[in-house]
Every structure is written in C-alpha cells, then in structure tokens.
Chain A
C-alpha cells in the first residue's frame, strides 16, 4: 500500500475507498479482500471502535421471503463474525424437542430396532409454542417430569385387507398398515402437558407422511418414545433448521460498455433478471470517451438485479468481457436463508438466535466481571 500522506490523516476515507473496503473481490480464480478491516487501529487516524449508535444507523433488515419453512432476509451493516454467530447458533444451539429414548416392546418388522430408533429420532415435531418455549426445560437427572419429557407411542400391526381383491399387488391396498408413517405416532399428554399441548397445540410430526417402516401382515411395531429438549451440537436431530446459511450480496460493475451481441451473451452468463438490456440513448452515444460513440440504438448491458446472481463467474470466462466487468460482493450485506424443520417458524428462529447470543454475552459479561473482581 502506498505510504499514507499527512493529508489523508485528517480526511475521512473517500466514498470510493469505503466501497473498496466493503467489497470482496470475485476474481477469475481467487477471492480477495476477504477479511474485514473495520476494527480499531487498522487504518491510522480512523476510529473504528464499536459504537451502538453507529451500528444502529448503519444496520438494516429487509425480508425477501417469510414462510414457515423458509425465510430469506438481508442483514446490512453487520460484521461477518456476528452474522456467522447467528448462523452457528441457528444450527447448533437453539433448544429443540426431539425423540431421545425409544423403548421397544415388540418389533417384528424387518427394520432393526436401532435403525428404527434412529429414524424416529430424526422426525421433526411441532407443538404449542407456549409449551415448547416456556414450559419445557432441559432434562436433568434420570427421572422424567412433565416439564422435561414428552411421551409418544407407536403401535401398529399390519393386517390383510379382506376387502381388497385377491390379485391386488399394491401392498398399500392389499394390507392395512403396510407402510408406517409419522402420522401413526400418538401423543399422550402427561401432567400439565394437557394445558400446553392439546387440540391444535398437540405434539405431532411436522410432516405426517414421513415413511418410518414397511410391514407385511402379522408384523407389529409396538414402542414408546420419550422426547427431550436438546441442542444441535449434541445431535443434528435437535437442530431446528434444515439448514441456515447466508451469502453476501453480489455486485456487478460494468466498467466498459458491453454492446450489441456481446450484451446478449453477457446477459446469458447470468441467471435471468440479473442483467437487463437497454438501448443506448442518443445522449450516451454523443458523449465522448463513454465507449458508446456511434452505437445509438444498439442494446447495452445494464445491471438490473444483482441479488439474483448466483456468482457463477461465467462472464469472467469469456475473452470479450475481459476488463469490462468487475464482480464483487458486499462484505456487510448478508442474505440469510433460514429453513426451519417446522418446530419453529423460520423468522422466529432468527429472533431466538439473537436472544441466545444475548444470553451468551450476558454470561460472558458476568464471567468477565467475576474475573475482574
């Protein structure tokens, strides 16, 4: 880096400089400028100490999609370490209810006890929010209590369907209970669970059609299951998300005009809707040194919606675009994607993650306090 002059000491960084600092460069074979530099002491004369006001003014959340099973939203003006902390908490640390113990009374199906138990454990369940959030607690000790253990049962026997035609080859029609689904699991509330998990709020599988086992006549599965709260770092069945991840906002900078057939090809290098084609206006064509001279009326490529870009870098592969385009990603713009398994709503999960982080910070604060004392 060029030695800084005295003038720069006084002046705040230019807009271009800020933009440069805030962009991760997407090059043909490498990604550069990946590390954030906005921490105190990195740039002489600049103050990057964390201030809540500055954070508040720069921070912004916009939702792109918000469904039960999928939420997509942008966090702008936040550091990667924080965004990543949320992501990690989402995956591994939000308490979730899942089957932990299976007591098999009778299992004459072809599926082995351990495999059956493993399959049951992975089924996501939902239930009354209030109960899940405020009533249930982590289990401590051996004894099960109504506030830490939920009991489920599964009792199915496969029988011949006497109504089916004798030539029926589809086992689902020829037999009753040929397939055991998640919906066959029954829930019996214990103690105060009646209050929290009844009616609409009963604990049931999120997806009733998850196939657990296949059976043939005279085979039986008879078992009871006990659910506990757990965290994803223990076992991924306790993870409330299918996955939670983020990507950085892509930026596409067309540095030299791309016109005509090249423009069409350029647009094809991106997913639909990222690059638009516009006619070169007379004004642009008239401007000297713009590169548009004499191309009035032809199509030029313009960036329409960089968020839809998947950053396939296809445009960097072709010779004709060399030096004409610069790809990058905004360092502080995180497009989150949270896919809930159904026990929580996706947006709710993010709030839960924030809450969890807050708790952890509190804990740390206490510990620091203790240390200092």
Chain B
C-alpha cells in the first residue's frame, strides 16, 4: 500500500498522547484512538465524497439502465440503447490530442476560472441500415468533479503529489470548482420519504397519517385523515377526500369484514371507531369494486393525464381510478399484476395508525425527531438533477431521430452517434448551471429550490471545514415555530449541540457532530431474502389476513416503512439479524429496530439516515479489548476491521432507541448493549476548538462557533498560491497552548487562527469598559495580531462579436496615476499602489456594435477601461497573473496585499464567545508587571466574567499557564468531558512558585507601587476577527450625490453621507431647532432653486411660466429636489398639484 500521509498517521502510529509501543493500554483511557481511525475512513467531509462516489459509480449507471432505450415512433425497426456510462477523470476541455498533458489540476481551474470537470462517456448500440452498430466511448458532455472524490486527481494522492499539484494536503475536499469559484452543495435536511408520519391538529381535532412517496418517476403525498369521526384519503390528484372504505373497496377482493379486520384487527375499540366509515360508502352507494373505482375515477383531477409523448387515448372513469390508485396513491408500494393487496395493507396500516393515535395521543409522531429526518447530500441531489437532464436529453435525441427518419428521401443512413453528440452538452451544462446558481430545478418532482449551493467560505480553515458539515433545513426561516429550532434529545451525538447561527436561521441550520456518518443506499432485495432465511418464524405478509396481522404478539416486519413479513418472535429475529450484520453478511448501515407501540419491526436500508459507531457490549463485557487497540497502534488494523469483527457497529437514530448505551466503561451493567467511543464527539468540528466547553454557559459556545469562522489565520498550505477575492492571513499564527483532541483531529493545530496572548484580568485606564481590550504596544511592535489582507482585481480581455478585441494599453508616464505600471500596462509586482492609481491599463474598443460588413465599420479608437485601486489605504502589488480561460479570452488577475498591525477598534475574541475591540494601546512601560518581569499582551476587564459565566476561559488560562511553566506543549487538554483535571494544573503552578489559583502579585507600571489585589493572569488563545476599523471607518464633508434625487449617496463604498434619520429628526423637532433641521434636511442635502408661478401654482422655467406664458408672477424659492420630484411625478399621474405661495412677512409695497 502506498504511504498516504493524510495527517492521521502522526495521530495513529505512536499513540499521540505520549504513549509508546511498550506502554500498557487501557481500553478506558485509550479507546478514543478509535476516533482518528474512524475519521480516516468516514466522517467530517467524507460523507460528501462517499455520496458523490456512490452517484458516479453506481447511481449514474442505474439511472442510465432505467432509461436506456430510445425507440422511434416513425420507424419501429430503429432502436438505440445505452449500454454503459462512465465518468472519467478531470480533463482540460480545451485540450488538443497532440498535447500530452490533458489532466487538469484543481488549482489550475481555480486560477484560470475553469470548471473542474471530467468527460462522461457512454457505450451505445443502435441500428443503422438494419445492422446493429456498437460504438464505445462516445462523449456525453462533462460532469463537475468533487474534489477528493474517486474521480478527482487528488484522491489517494500523497503529500508530495498534493504539493506538486499546488494543493493543500489538509484541504478537506468535498466541493466543486465551477468557473474558478469553489462551490459547496450543502447537506439538505428533509422529512423522511416513504414513511408514515402521524400528526395531530389539536385545534381542529384532526389526526392525519401522511406519507410522501418518492419513486424515480414521481413524488406525491398521500394522507389518511380522521376528521369528525370520518376517515378519508387525501391526495393531490383527487379533487375531494375519498372515504377510506371506498378506497379499500376499490382495491378489490376485500369484503367489509376483511376491511374491518385489516384496519382494526379484533380490537373492539378500534372496530367501534372505524365502523362508522362503512356508512360513508353505503351512503354514496358504493358496494363493489367497480362502483368504488367509478367513484374514485370521477374524482381524479382532470389535466393530470400523464404521459410524455403522443396523444393520450381516451379513458373512462374506471380506468382513471385504477390508474390513480395503482400509480399515484402511495406510489412507492408497487402493484404487480393488479394485485392490490400490499397497497391495501399499507393503506389499512395508515388508517390503523390514525385510529391508534386518536385513542392514545402519545402515538402521534414527532416531526422533529432526528430518526424521521433524512439528509440529502451532493450525490443524491446530483442524481436527481442528472436523471432529469438525462431524460430530457433522451427526449431530444428521440425527437431529432424521429425528425430525421421522417424524411423519405434521405441521402445518408441515420448516424445516431451524431445525434447523441449534438445534444451531449446539455447534461453537463445543466448540472454546471445548477451548481453555479444554486437553483435546483427538477421538473418531474416540481422541485424548485434556490440556494442549494454556496461559495465555499475561505475566511479561515475552520470556516471552510464548518461549511462542509453544515446542514440546511427546508423549513422556512420566517415562521415563528420553535419546534424545529429546538435542540432535540435525539440529536445527541449526531448533530452538534452548539454550532448553529444566531438570529433567523437559529436551530434550522445545524452541523454534523464529529462521528456522524450519513448512509448511502443499500439494496433492498438481498435484505429481504435475509429476512426469510434468518428465522423460520417469519412469513410473508401476503399470506395473512388482517386478524392475524394485528393479533397480540404478532409483529409486522417493515422494510423501509412498507409491511413485508410477519413474525411472532421479534426479539429473536432482531437478534439474529444483528448477528448477521455484525458478521458482515448484511451491510453495517442497515438498521433494525423494534417498535412495541405499533408491534412492528423496522428495517431501514435507505439513504440519508444519520448514524454513528458504538462499541458493542455483550453480557456486561465490551467487545473492545486492549489487543484491538494494540493492533491499531501498530497500524495493523483499521476501523473497518473492527466493524467486520463485531467490535463496533453503526446505529442510526431509530436503532439507538433499542439500545442501552453507557458513556463510561465502569457503568456497564448486564443490560448494557453499547458503549460510547468518546463523549466529546457530541460536538462538531467547529465547537471542538473550544477548550473546556463543558464549563461554559451554553450560548457562549454557540457564539464562539460563529466567531471561530471569522478568525484570521492560516487558510491552507497553498494560501499564497491562491488568488482569492479576499484573503486574510495572520503573519505569525500560533498553535493554541490549550488544545483538544478535536483540534488535532481536524488539524487546527497545523492551520491555526490566533495567537496565545498573555492576558491579565484587571481593570486598567477606563478604556476597557464594555468588553474593550487594552493592548500592549510592544507586543504589537513585535508582531502580535499582525495580519495581511489580500485582494483580487480581475478582468477579462473580451473578443467582441464584431471581431474587435480588448487590449492592454501603453502607460502614459506623464500621468501620476500610471506611476506603478510596467511597460506592458500591468502593475509592477512589489510596488506600492495608492488610491486612484491604475493597476491594469485595459482598453476597450469604442465601437462595440458595428458588424464590419460593408460600410458599417465603426471607429478604430479605444476607450480607457483600466482597473484602478480605490481603497484609501495603500497596498502592495503581490501578484500579477495572466492566463487564458476556456473561452480562449485572456484573464488578468492582480492581487494586492496590505499588512496591518492592530489598531484602536479592531476586533479580537477568545475562544469562549468573548469578543471585544481594542480600546487603547498602552506602552510597555506603563503596563503592570509581575515579579518575573512578565507584562501582559492584553488586559481584559474582569466585568466580562460574572454575567457571561465563561468558566472555561479561566480554566484555559490556568491550564495554559501550567503548560507554559511545565514546558510541555501537549500538556493540558481541554476536551469536553475529558479535560485535564484542574488540581494537577494547580499543583504544577505551585511547584513552579506560582500561586495555586493563577493569581499573582503585580506592580503598577505607572506608579511603580504594588497593585492592591492579586491579578489573574496567563496565556489565553486570542483570535483576530476580520472586522477591522480600516475597512469600516468613513466620514464625508461633501461628496457625490445620487442622480435621481440629488441627495447624498448611501454607504461607505460610494463615499456616502451619514443619514440624519427619522428619530434624529424627531429629536430636533422636539427641541425646536428648526434652522438646524432646515440645514440638515434641505440645504446640506438636495435643496434646489425652483421657479413657481404664483398665478397657476405650477413650476416655471428660467423665470417664465409656460402655462401662463408670462414672467409676471413667477417667484423663486428653494425646496428639496425630492419634493420637486414628487410634485412632477404626481402631475405625470394626472394628480394636479398647485403650489400656493404666501409671504410670511408681507412686502411693504403691497400693503
């Protein structure tokens, strides 16, 4: 096996907790080693990659196999078949076969604004001249490739290979590169498909059991509703609710007695409640299947006539009803040979659930239960899209083939390959566009989702990683329901409890926990076979009547929510099933759980379930033995080996309910079934950065999760090779003094975003109120918090359709703004660029429209279209890049760089949701100093602690201090629930002559006398956040005005004015400062001189009234331009406006 350094080696090989091969291993202490082993195969971003791989390797072939043939309506002898489809590895689109290097690296795509995509190839067979022709490797457009997926060049690459491709080995992958921008398909959360969910509307006393059926063809929702004692079936395609008895009768072959048994069994309570429904059928005169179908068929919505091509044959109501029942109502239950019994069982089951819920309100399902949720990943979303595009493509090919075959006197024989390649690009283009815009449109599902993809945030390594684990919910953000936003107990260990944004998306956007895995689809058929072979007591459900199904002690076995078999021994069956799964005969991601409320055994094989590994416990003994960990330590075993050996297994949220899981080894009892691998995996990757999170008030951890993504630091190893629109980097990033296992696992210690500041907690100078920080000037001089800001300026030299081209102009050195340009018209690397200076001297032809035909030539002049630097603070030219895009036009990218030292007002934050701005920068000599001569980098006001209750920060400080004096970087761990004990830290401090509680004697740097209290001090990891004064400060005396209103422009970017708003205006009115109001609202804003005719009250012009044809009564006055505009607009709407003027101080002459 080639040596792949993906960063986990260091963690796996020698036990990184300072353990050597010879040291004894205890399962209690060292079982967390399973975590890096797990992350090597699953977890974090691997779910995206797994899902994409599944799509590219299996799903895409399935889709093509399901729609593989095209037959012509014109020539019945013709057919075309797609035998196979393959997605190759990424290649340059503009490659010529002569050139050797066809492979394209992700970095090249990023820089050249290309799409990282691979060609799709198909094998086709078709008829030409009555001969079967087979063609292999026919190109079928290009498929965007997910980074680090099996199709990507980066998959399995060693560190050295990654480096040669200019790629960061720590980059998580899992995103796409579309036209040079990195795009992520967020994980989508949805209610599970093909499962029955019972809901109660307590206000209107309605109980509904609904089921969203999803098949390849369509998606539809069927529900069974209990309203005013009557049970009806509701479906989109039916104009009105149909009494359930009629539906069941329409299924055929069921007598009233059988229907009653199927629904209610022999339970009197349910029978009594259900029996009224038979009257419904009697009332409308439905007694037979024929009548029932007639009844239903008459209520099938018109216009729902399906079928893609050709005229639909006319059908009668019975056919309509039959069609609706077999294909639309609970569409995912297949009908074979008009055998409606399985569907009848399904509908009866839904009805029964409604009845049960009406008897016992506890049986109503919880929509927010994580087990009822499915996560849709990139692969699934892409396969939806691909199927849609592929079907459309097939339609187009068929159409053009038909068109060709219709011609009677065609010269050449039909070449289907031509047809295929003509339409080939539509698929790739469509997928490309969807990923780029984020608009997911699938016609056959009526799906139209916006905002599925996002630009990967590269603010910091953590922000990129956090984006890969983000889950967005389909819920509307505006709705004020708390249920979906609340923390659900079943989220334990699956979704991070801390990482969610504040504000409108709070609780709707979630993040995966560290050990979560999302299942991909497992084939149902083999599992179905296993169900019967496992246990002799299992029989197909088809063999039973309702009475037997619902008899006490009989358990229905459901596969993916559909009743399938019956057993009397559910526990024995589940046990056998699990044994086979642990032995590896059944996929580890198939879950089984027993539901005693509904007497059901549920087996789930579908995709999108959230699951997580546990250590198996049997007979009070855990299966994980020290020798397993030893094997892991020696690198002889992987996580999957343990899975196969039955040491660990995956449980999904539903199966979790069947298990008794302990967190710690010593709590195992005889009834325990599983043991947690590590309690801190309850948190996700972003929350895992917080040291001692279990000592913090919970919202503080949430705040940190939001702020960790804004911290400036290292982004990737290749950060200086990238040209990002905006890139922040820290000049001297440091690994945190207090780290956690999560930090090591996500490699935050290799790409950190922050510095260890010596913090002293005391009040100083009064410039530290309201969370402001006091910074040491000497620390800043020495490089604390120093950061760099890189900005991209890009332009393309476009070829116009009239053959003219943009060009680079020659600099004119007599102009001051051309000072930094080189002779090629590009800025010189290393030069300082000031506001207003030109960086790219681009020129564009004046003539953009002429055709160049005949006399229509247009001018040959060029207009200046150069890019200049607009920011007030100067920067340096860091890079200039010239390249060609796929469209063969030249791109010019200029990157500028600013180095900034912290200044007053810059924002900093610790890792405990404690943000603050710099309030004052103090000279070193004025700083308080300890006996050892230590002066603080940061002074923090102690008022930040009592109300925030961030005890974790105090512990971080103390642990950090102990680690420093001890001199071991890996000394203190701040993991949730397994942090280093505080007493040990205190002991170390005392041993090194410090106070046990971290508070030391300090001397004032100003007076030279001792401070009257002992001061808590130590290193705390501080993050510099991206919000900086330099980017925000703004003022203006006078400046640009908006064209329409002639009022000052708005916003900093337009050098806008500062608005005197309504409330400020109210103050001035209340105060009576009328002259100030007049000045602010008119004179300094949009006051204009207007001529008004006092005779007609309309506007005049240049002292002349055009209405009255006179200058006599025209007066000048000043009014806001906006008011003038209002008057004119009203006039244009036929609302007459007259302005009547009066002298406030009448003229003496007129008196």
Contacts and interface: CB of A to CB of B under 8 A. Distances in A.
Interface in A264-303: 271
A236 B778 contact: yes
Nearest to B786: A118
A235 B781 CA distance: 6
Interface stretch (A80-88, A137-145, A205-213, A355-363): A80-88
Contacts of A245: 929-933, 1003
A163 interface: no
Interface string B705-737: 000000000000000100000000001000000
Interface in A71-94: 80-81, 83-85, 87-88, 91-92
Contact of A311 (B781, B876, B931, B1011): B931
Contact of A36 (B778, B876, B933, B1009): B1009
B782 A87 contact: no
B148 interface: no
Nearest to B781: A236
A91 B1013 contact: no
A167 to B, nearest CB: 13
A232 to B, nearest CB: 7
A195 interface: no
B996 interface: yes
A88 B1008 CA distance: 9
If over half of B's interface residues share one DSSP class (helix, strand or loop), that class is named, otherwise mixed; here it is loop
B1007 A81 contact: yes
Interface stretch (A5-13, A26-34, A45-53, A342-350): A26-34
Contact of B925 (A87, A107, A110): A87
A313 interface: yes
Contacts of B899: 112, 114-115, 118
Nearest to B731: A115
A65 interface: no
A239 interface: yes
B830 A113 contact: yes
B1001 interface: yes
Contact of B933 (A34, A118, A243, A311): A243
B782 A122 contact: yes
B222 interface: no
A157 interface: no
B858 interface: no
Interface string B978-1018: 00000000000110011110000101011111111110000
Contacts of A30: 1012-1014
Interface in B439-462: none
B714 to A, nearest CB: 13
A92 B925 contact: yes
Contacts of B795: none
Interface residues of B, number: 41
- Range for the number of chain A residues in contact with chain B: 35 or more
Contact of B1010 (A113, A239, A329): A329
B781 A84 contact: no
Nearest to B924: A91
A107 to B, nearest CB: 7
A118 B783 contact: yes
Nearest to A106: B830
A112 B1008 CA distance: 41
Contacts of B897: 112, 114
A237 B1014 contact: no
A311 B999 CA distance: 11
A139 to B, nearest CB: 19
B993 A34 contact: no
A29 to B, nearest CB: 7
Interface in A206-261: 232-233, 235-237, 239, 243-248
Contacts of B818: none
B923 interface: yes
B1009 A35 contact: yes
Contacts of B782: 122, 236
A177 interface: no
B931 A310 contact: yes
A248 B931 CA distance: 8
B578 interface: no
Interface in A82-127: 83-85, 87-88, 91-92, 104, 107, 110, 112-115, 118, 122
A133 interface: no
Interface string B774-786: 0001100111001
B788 interface: yes
A31 B995 contact: no
A314 B995 contact: yes
Nearest to B732: A115
Contacts of B788: 112, 115
A31 B1001 contact: yes
A233 B925 CA distance: 9
B995 A312 contact: yes
A317 interface: yes
Given A30-B1013, A81-B1008, A312-B989, 11 more contacts: A31-B1014, A87-B925, A88-B1005, A112-B788, A112-B897, A113-B830, A114-B899, A115-B788, A115-B899, A118-B899, A237-B781
Instruction: Across the A-B interface, give the 3 residue pairs with the lowest CB-CB distance, nearest first.
Output: A84-B1008, A310-B993, A245-B933
25 contacts: A31-B1001, A31-B1011, A34-B1012, A36-B1009, A80-B1009, A81-B1008, A83-B1008, A84-B1005, A85-B1008, A87-B925, A92-B923, A112-B788, A115-B788, A115-B899, A118-B899, A236-B777, A239-B778, A243-B935, A245-B1003, A246-B1003, A271-B993, A310-B994, A311-B931, A312-B993, A312-B996
Interface of B: 720, 731, 777-778, 781-783, 786, 788, 830, 876, 878, 897, 899, 923-925, 929-933, 935, 989-990, 993-996, 1001, 1003, 1005-1014
